[in-house]
Structures are given as C-alpha cells and as structure tokens.
Amino acid sequence: MSVDITRLISGALKKDKVSVSKLITLVETNPLNSISVIMRIPYQPKTTHIVGFTGAAGVGKSTLINAVATLLAREGGSVAIIAVDPRSPITGGAIMGDRVRMKDVPKEVYVRSMTTHEEESLPLKTLLTIELLERLGFDYVILETPGAGQFSTRIMSVADTIVVVLMPESGDEIQAIKAGIMEIGDIYVVNKADLPGANLTYNQVLFALNSAERRGWTPRVILTNALSIASVEPLVSAIKDHAVFVRKIGLNIEKRTLRRSLELQLIIEEELSKVIKEVSTPQTTLFKEFEKLLRDGGSLKEFLKRIKEEVSSRINE
C-alpha cells in the first residue's frame, strides 16, 4: 500500500494522469484519511493560480474553460480542471453530469468531474483536491461550479480569480443582477457573443458594475464566443493580469488562509457530527432531559449548558 502511494505520488508529480486520478480517488473516498497522503507530497513553493468559473446552467462555462485551458496549455502552463457536479439529494440523478463537455481539451490538461450533494456546495473532498493539485505543482487549477446559492459564496473563499459567465438575455434586467452574482466576479464574461443581444447585455453588465473597484481591481467585462478559441484570448489575458494583481497585494495568501479555515471547519464538522448523533438518540440522558424540558418547562440556558457538558464528555471518552 505504502509503496504504491510512493509510486503514485512520484507519477503524479510528473503530471501522469492515471496517478493524479488515483490520488484524487483516495481523496474522494476518504477525505479525512487522505490528508496523510497529501502531507507526504513535498511542499511546493511554486504558487498555483486557482480560477473559479461560475454562472447559470448552459451559459457556456465548460466550453469556455476548455478554450482557456487550451490557450494556457499552448503557452506551456500545466492545467487541471475540476468540474463540480451537484446531484439532487431527492432524485439522486446528475443535474448537469451529462452536460460537462470537456472532451476537446489538449491531452496534457487534466480534467476531473466531481459529484457533490446539492446542499453541500464545495465539500471537503473538493477543497482537499485543490490542496493536492497545488502540491503537485499545477500552474492553474480551474473550477467549474454552478452559479447557484451556496456555491457563489464558497467559491469566494477558494478561487483567486472568479470568472462570472453570462450570456445574452432578453428582458429588462439580466438574471445575474437579480441573483446578486454581480458582487463576486473579478472578470465578467458575456459569452455567446455570436447571438443577438450580446452588446446590450455587455452594456447592462458594465452599467450594473458602475466601475466598481475592489481593493484596487476594477472588474473586467469581456465578450466571447467560446466556440472560437481566438475570441477567448482576451479572457486569458485578463486572468493573467488578475493573477499578477492578486500576487502583488497578497490576496492569494489570504485566499489560501480562508480556504484552509473552511477545510478545518469541515473537518471539525465531520468529526463532531458523529458525536452529535450519539448524544441525541432517544436512549440518551440528554434526550430525556430535553423531553422533560418540553413537558415541564425549565431553564433553557441550563439545558444548553448540559448539551455542552454531554458533548465534551463524549469527546473526551
């Protein structure tokens, strides 16, 4: 086992796709245990730039990422793509699994699709996979996430550069403005520029941003047609400009701290959730005290103190 992992790590450091995949599978299967594997990879002083693409279903995120990765790889950059694919806990089916279109990326680009539960947005396994890819020395890690709910806030603690993807829309106000997604992007892309209404949407986005400045960076707005790689070049330049900016002000260090704090929070949650389940089953004293409180009344403050006592004594067992 251990010899295998040593071999996997040395393969993955050479960007061998099979080795990288096997290591990510270890992370996915048991995130907590995989930390000991990740720690065995020598720390890389080189910084990985993490780019998050977010936006509504079908706007062209995958097609754009494909083009961006192709251009970065042509310049000799090593690129890994993680497409986060939420599954509905109700139907269990993939919402967009069959829509991830990354078949045309150059062979040196690593692509991985990662299923998550809809409600857990960026789970520990995804964060640890980023940690792993950083240690493996990838120049760029590109994340594709749906632009809904929790995802858009968590991506801010994870990606150094956030690209919000939109497409031409009819109607008075574009959906993204209503959805509050205009707060999070470093770069806004109006994709499908070949469709009617692209210029109008472009102007609406510019107007909505109103030259907003974020710590010295004015968000860029770019028109693309992801089906033509050449039209994606300005987006790649903007990503590189933002990477320079981020490093200049140390934002990448802050982001890594935020991400690791989120990792720690998720590890603690995972560890504590077992204890929480144990102390709240109907057989426990705590449950009986809870029922008594509901039946006879009493001090809620005292009861909350009892919860802490029970939880900590169970942890210390």
Ligand X SMILES: Nc1nc2c(ncn2[C@@H]2O[C@H](COP(=O)(O)OP(=O)(O)OP(=O)(O)O)[C@@H](O)[C@H]2O)c(=O)[nH]1
> CB of 34: closest distance to ligand X in angstroms?
26
For residue 213, give every residue at least 6 positions away whose Cβ sits within 8 Å of its Cβ, in sequence order, or none.
none
Q: Which is nearer to ligand X, 150 or 280 (CB)?
A: 150
The crossing angle, in degrees rounded to 10, of helices 17-29 and 124-135 is: 150
Q: Which residue has the CB atom at the shortest distance from ligand X?
A: 60
Residues engaged in binding ligand X (CB under 6 A): 57-63, 96, 99-101, 146, 191-192, 194-195, 225-227
Using CB under 5 A as the binding rule, whether residue 62 contacts Mg ion is answered as yes
CB of 241 to ligand X, least distance (A): 22
How far is CA 127 from its chain centroid?
Answer: 7
State in angstroms the smallest separation of the CB of 204 from ligand X: 18
54 binds Mg ion (CB under 5 A): no
26-41: burial string, b at 16+ Cβ within 10 Å, e else: bbbeebeebbebbeeb
Rg (CA), the chain: 23
Q: How far apart, in Å, are the Cα atoms of 267 and each of 34, 153, 273?
A: 12, 19, 10
Nearer residue to ligand X within complex by CB, 195 or 264:
195
Contact of 270 with 188, CB cutoff 8 Å: no
Name which of ligand X, Mg ion, none residue 161 binds, using a CB cut-off of 5 to 8 Å depending on partner kind.
Answer: none
Nearer to ligand X, 226 or 239 (CB): 226
Task: Work out how close the CB of 81 gets to ligand X at its nearest, in angstroms, rounded to a whole number.
Answer: 11
Work out what residue 225 binds among Mg ion, ligand X, none; the CB cut-off runs from 5 to 8 Å by kind.
ligand X
Give the three-class secondary structure for 281.
Answer: coil
> Which region among 1-9, 12-20, 55-63, 264-272 touches Mg ion (by CB under 5 A)?
55-63
Does residue 66 interact with Mg ion by CB under 5 A? no
Q: Which is nearer to ligand X, 192 or 242 (CB)?
A: 192
Tokens of 182: 């205009």
Judge whether 80 and 63 are in contact, CB under 8 Å.
no
Q: Which residue is nearest to Mg ion (CB)?
A: 62
Within residues 87-126, the interface with Mg ion by CB under 5 A covers 100
Minimum CB separation of residue 115 from ligand X in Å reads 13
d(CA 82, CA 76): 19
In sequence order, the 6+-apart residues with CB closer than 8 A to the CB of 34 are 26, 27, 128, 132
Q: Closest separation between CB of residue 189 and Mg ion, Å?
A: 14
Q: Which residues bind Mg ion (CB under 5 A)?
A: 61-62, 100
